[in-house]
Structure 1
Amino acid sequence: MADLKLYDPFSKMQFTDEHCFLCGITITTADRTPVFGEWMQKKYNLENKELLLLDKSITTFSQLTIPCCNQCHTNYILPLEEEIEKASEADYEGIKLLDPKRLFQWIGKMYYGTLVTELIREKDPLIMPENPVSENPQMLGKFRTFYQVLQSLRVPMVFSDFQPCSLFILQVEPTEDNLPFEYQDELSTMAFSIKLGPVVIVCKLLDNGIISKAMGRMYKLIESRQLHPIQVAEFKAQVFYAAYIFNVVPDYFIRTIKPDDKQLVLDTLIDDVTNEVFNPWEPVAYAHMLEEMLKPWSIREQQILADPTRLLTFLTDEKGEFKTIEHFAQ
């Protein structure tokens, strides 16, 4: 009989170096798995690249590991990383052919691995963060819900008529693209992006695909095209801002388990009756997000807001059609 029991580290805040992040069994401090796959670190020379944690301590991609038992590492983590590595060898076409559930699990593992690191660090921080994650019940509730569906990596699980995230896969036009790898995430909004050579994956976790539906027209316009890096940055800003104003958290319900069941079936519900799905869209707040994404091109908020009837955009022309950009000049 399949082991269909879910692990809940949030009930006792069991975030230590002595418990496997995926199944919870007691392990030694030597039992670890990389947050970012070793293949990716080697391919993009990330091993010694520095990362800043919330407590202002510095780590590197190779040092960023999380507690993981040998069984979970061997049976679940390694096969997942091997699958993504193989798909990435075919660039955009390979990534597009992946099961969205596997991409969700891969992105979720990196996102959750970063979160677990932050929660462990908060017990002995270099500098206590201004808003500790472990002291925010609302955030912890959201992370707990996310972890429920992330366990599909370990426990056989079927999502009934939904995906727990919005996924966007973009192609980058090579002419002015000199960045082989890039990674960004927002812990609080659960927005994530990663660049693997000519492919950029943008994701909003825990929205049941609502943002992908809201941005469906724009994504359809660009998904088969090669984008200039500034266009990728703008699209990322749109997704990250949508994640910022996203205002609901899905609930997941496990269907009654029968003795001969070999997988869990999850249904979902979003409370969009008492809560608005999105908070109001504010041009100034979006412009601030876009300015952050456009820093490499030194484009300021004032330029973005210069025409209040049409904010600065590099994705579409005045007719709303796709704008081709091969070379960008201020």
Structure 2
Amino acid sequence: MSLTLFNPFEDLIFDEHFCFLSGKLTTETMSVFPGWLMDHFKFGEEKIEMMDKTKSYTYSDLELPCSLEVKEAFEELDLKIQAAYKGGFEGMASLDEELIFQWTGRIVYGLLYYEMVYERDRLLKKGEDFQLSAVLKERFGNFHLMLQSLIEPVSFVGKKPWSISIFQLKYSSDIFSYRDDTVNLMFSMGVNGFGIIACLQDNGVIGEKQKDILDKIKSHTLHPIQFEELYARFHYSDYIYQYKAEYKIENQDDGIKIEALPAKVIGSKPLFGFWDENIFAQLLANYWQVYGIEREDILKFQKPPLSFLENPYSKDFINPESIDLPF
């Protein structure tokens, strides 16, 4: 008998009375961001904006309805991540990628949940129906199914559905850097000792595209400005990726098995569209604004684009210690 699991994107069910992951009736809640992380970096009372910039919450106000089973499962996962976190880069790098997927996925999905609720309520006030495209329903539904691997017999075989990179990173001990893209299911976090970049449903394609630079940074401790540039490369690569992620999902007696399928290039359409340096420079300038670097500083007439990761002429990796900027 096949396994039937809750999919909130089928009927767009985002209700405070139903567990966000299992769909069971509940009165319990859990935070989107782990409590220990908010306490450690003291950002619980800081504001986070929704995508359209008209609505914001404090991080500590972001809570998800959940069953007791789901709450306990995430608390157990949190203990594993927290223990690894204390070990710095080595501790995090030693973790099974599936655990990192579930942990980062909890945060990204939690923010996606709030985006869904906000958009539904906004349209309701205007007397309009809340709808999602078939493409987004499928993407988000698959992501939700994968997250249920924490509580259900859902397993991953063969090629994994994500690209997850962990690397050494030099930050002041009190700085917590976080970015996400809920529509494209992306996550980045930088703290003292390590950084994480995760594309949670790219089937490894973005990681493969950035393999050359990822190989170059091994054994190096990145400067924060390099971390921001690396995430910008991942983010823009995802933006110009021209194929949707496909999966082989087998629902068997012993559970659901998910295998990421390799992208099949159709005709002359490449995996990635044209890399536009103008668009990338604007994206990068958004990430580098804390350093006072503008788009015009990145793109200068008759000069290659500014990079802190690679020498634009030799393509050699730039030694982080040679970067004279604060961290």
What's the CA shift string for 1:1-22, capped at 9, x where partnerless?
Answer: 9x94322111111111111011
1:165 Cα deviation after fit? 1.1
Letter in 1 for 2:26: I
Secondary structure class of the residue paired with 2:160: coil
**Change beyond 3 A, Cα 1:128–1:183:** farther
How do 1:164-183 residues align onto structure 2 when only pairs under 5 Å count?
164-174=161-171, 177=172, 180-183=175-178
1:40 to 37, 41, 44: 37
The structure richer in helix per residue is 2
2:150 to 153, 172, 184: 153
Partner of 2:71: 73
The worse-fitting range, judged by mean Cα deviation, of 94-103 and 215-224 is 215-224
Partner of 2:5: 6
Q: Separation in 2 of the partners of 1:308 and 1:191?
A: 34
Secondary structure class of the residue paired with 1:194: strand
Aligned length: 319
Q: Separation in 2 of the partners of 1:288 and 1:95?
A: 32
Q: Separation in 2 of the partners of 1:309 and 1:99?
A: 42
Letter in 2 for 1:290: L
* Alignment RMSD: 2.5
**Change beyond 3 A, Cα 1:279–1:150:** farther
Q: Separation in 1 of the partners of 2:297 and 2:285?
A: 9
1:246 aligns with 2:266: no
Letter in 2 for 1:182: S
Alignment check: 8 A CA contact 1:57 1:126 kept: no
2:318 to 318, 323, 326: 323
Q: Separation in 2 of the partners of 1:123 and 1:254?
A: 29
Letter in 2 for 1:315: L
**Change beyond 3 A, Cα 1:306–1:128:** farther
What's the CA shift string for 1:149-191, capped at 9, x where partnerless?
Answer: 22212222322212211111122235xx475201111122222
1:225 to 189, 207, 220: 220
How do 1:1-330 residues align onto structure 2 when only pairs under 5 Å count?
4-28=3-27, 31-54=28-51, 56-74=54-72, 76-125=73-122, 134-174=131-171, 177=172, 180-258=175-253, 261=254, 263-274=255-266, 276-306=270-300, 310-317=304-311, 318-326=313-321, 327-328=323-324
What's the CA shift string for 1:33-75, capped at 9, x where partnerless?
Answer: 111111111111122111112462221111101110111111x
**Change beyond 3 A, Cα 1:82–1:133:** farther
**Change beyond 3 A, Cα 1:325–1:52:** same
Q: Separation in 1 of the partners of 2:48 and 2:76?
A: 26
What's the CA shift string for 1:301-330, capped at 9, x where partnerless?
Answer: 122121556321111223222211334259
Q: Separation in 1 of the partners of 2:284 and 2:130?
A: 26
1:79 Cα deviation after fit? 1.0
**Change beyond 3 A, Cα 1:81–1:54:** same
The worse-fitting range, judged by mean Cα deviation, of 150-159 and 58-67 is 150-159
Q: Separation in 2 of the partners of 1:294 and 1:305?
A: 13
Structure 2 residues without counterparts, runs of 5 or longer: none
Q: Separation in 2 of the partners of 1:133 and 1:306?
A: 45
1:256 Cα deviation after fit? 4.9
1:96 Cα deviation after fit? 0.2
Secondary structure class of the residue paired with 1:255: strand
Q: Given the two structures, how large is their TM-score scaled by the length of structure 2?
A: 0.89
Structure 1 residues without counterparts, runs of 5 or longer: none
What's the CA shift string for 1:116-159, capped at 9, x where partnerless?
Answer: 11112223249989xx9844443233212222222212222322
Q: Separation in 1 of the partners of 2:265 and 2:20?
A: 35
Identity %: 28
Q: Separation in 2 of the partners of 1:21 and 1:64?
A: 13
The worse-fitting range, judged by mean Cα deviation, of 162-171 and 135-144 is 135-144
The worse-fitting range, judged by mean Cα deviation, of 141-150 and 236-245 is 141-150
Letter in 2 for 1:115: L
Alignment check: 8 A CA contact 2:41 2:174 kept: no
Secondary structure class of the residue paired with 1:117: helix
**Change beyond 3 A, Cα 1:143–1:308:** farther
Secondary structure class of the residue paired with 2:206: helix
Q: Separation in 1 of the partners of 2:50 and 2:113?
A: 12
Q: Separation in 1 of the partners of 2:191 and 2:123?
A: 32
Secondary structure class of the residue paired with 1:77: helix
